[in-house]
Amino acid sequence: MQQAQKQQLPASLQKIVGAFQIVPDPMARYKQLLFYAAKLPKMAAEDHVPENKVEGCVSQVWVKPELRDDGRVYWTADSDSQLTKGLAALLVLGLSGCTPQEVLTVQPSFIEMLGLKQSLTPSRNNGFLNMLLKMQRLTLELVAASEA
């Protein structure tokens, strides 16, 4: 079942899921998240605005999409917590360069495939879900604005 789910993910997100699945130790996965946090491109301070803020997260998190001329969505994100920044980085790196349809069809259940439940508190897991849902809502808004 997990393999079938993995096949439905965009290639970049599949690669990230695969990288987490080969790490057996929850503490090592936690460290891997911090590694991803360091890879997250810097978000401009002026993008830390209410419309980009993810509600329902323990930490402050912002995500911002850009629909480029190639018809693909590119993301930036930031957080005041390194761990949450790592979670945001997974989504930014996994969903940047995807078509809007690819972003919208990512099922929240993919989060379980990462094997992070043991490493994260329930509120952080919920925050990760809220980040994905916010990114999908912003994608819908971008598509609607581009068609107007």
| Calpha distance 97→51 (Å, rounded) | 21
For the annotated catalytic residues, the residue numbers are 57
For the record, the structure tokens of 116 come out as 């992070």
**DSSP state, residue 60:** -
Distance CA 142, CA 137 (A): 9
Alpha helices in 1-148 (DSSP H): 2-7, 11-21, 26-39, 82-95, 100-104, 110-113, 122-147
* Whether the Cβ atoms of residue 72 and residue 97 lie closer than 8 Å to each other: yes
